[in-house]
């Protein structure tokens, strides 16, 4: 679904991502692990088209999308949830979800996705008329994930989804992502610092440090390590 070859990226003239290679297949969750400043967020922002690639190639669903506009990539099936809370604070939960599916003109499909989101996150049914900005951090994260799912994505990129959330909420969100990968074939790029949480749902891991991928391992190989300190 996604192949990143020798990606180079950054901000202005400053390069912060160097020759990054990644691959995510349909129905697979790839965990990209690393501390803040390792280049994880810049990588997915460049994949989506928010940042320009300095070099390398990005292929999505069989097409070269290097430096394609983010709007075109979203229409093609990419979705990204940033690390900061991303909801329209003054709008209701329902209105946020409907906005998430605004680019899909198939009314029947939008209705099915809306019911799926409500099934995945029952609390959003109870809070459907509540302003999204008044909800807890975990509930807002559920809203933002629901908005992304309303667009029927083929690739979902999550930036630090566990940040600042209670373990039980993280477990629910991660369980939902794993379910969608298994049942809908959703490809997922999961950026995380929390190695323990990430290893509960990912299939493979890539570790980034100082803008480079320094290690690629299966989840079983990562779990077998006695310590992760040397990686970060």
Domain identity same for 60 and 163: yes
pLDDT of residue 229: 65
Domain identity same for 39 and 140: no
Residue pLDDT tens, the chain, 232 long: 999 999 999 998 899 999 999 999 999 999 999 888 899 999 999 999 999 999 999 999 999 999 999 999 999 999 998 887 688 999 999 999 998 888 777 788 888 889 888 888 888 899 999 999 999 888 888 898 889 888 889 999 999 887 777 788 788 888 888 988 999 899 999 998 888 888 989 999 999 999 999 999 988 888 888 777 666 7
107 contacts: CB under 8 Å, gap ≥ 6 = none
Domain identity same for 134 and 195: no
Q: How many domains is the chain partitioned into structurally?
A: 2
**Domain of 101?**
86-152
Domain identity same for 22 and 94: no
Phi and psi angles of residue 209, each rounded to the nearest 5 degrees, phi first: -150, 130
Domain identity same for 5 and 102: no
Domain identity same for 159 and 72: yes
pLDDT of residue 172: 82
Angle at Cα 64 formed by Cα 74 and Cα 20, nearest 5°? 90
CA dihedral (168, 218, 82, 105) in degrees, to 10, reads -100
End of a domain among 120, 152, 184? 152
Domain identity same for 146 and 158: no
Domain identity same for 24 and 97: no
Domain identity same for 160 and 218: yes
Domain identity same for 60 and 40: yes
pLDDT of residue 110: 84
pTM over 0.85, yes/no: yes
């Amino acid at each position: 679904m996604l192949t990143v070859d020798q990606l180079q990226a950054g901000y202005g003239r400053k390069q912060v991502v160097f020759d990054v290679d990644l691959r995510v297949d349909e129905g697979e969750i790839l965990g990209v692990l690393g501390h803040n400043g390792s280049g994880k967020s810049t990588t997915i922002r460049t994949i989506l088209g928010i940042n320009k690639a300095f070099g390398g190639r990005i292929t999505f669903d069989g097409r070269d999308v290097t430096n394609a506009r983010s709007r075109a990539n979203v229409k093609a099936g990419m979705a990204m949830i940033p690390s900061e809370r991303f909801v329209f604070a003054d709008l209701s939960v329902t209105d946020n979800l409907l906005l998430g599916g605004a680019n899909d003109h198939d009314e029947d499909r939008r209705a099915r996705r809306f019911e799926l989101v409500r099934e995945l996150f029952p609390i959003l049914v109870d809070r459907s008329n509540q302003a999204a900005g008044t909800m807890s951090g975990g509930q807002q994260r559920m809203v933002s994930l629901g908005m992304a799912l309303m667009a029927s994505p083929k690739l979902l990129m999550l930036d630090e989804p566990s940040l600042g959330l209670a373990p039980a909420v993280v477990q629910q969100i991660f369980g939902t992502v794993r379910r969608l990968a298994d049942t809908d074939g959703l490809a997922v790029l999961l950026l995380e610092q929390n190695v323990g949480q990430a290893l509960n749902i990912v299939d493979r891991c890539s570790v980034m440090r100082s803008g480079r991928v320094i290690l690629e391992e299966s989840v079983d190989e990562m779990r077998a390590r006695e310590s992760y300190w040397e990686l970060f």
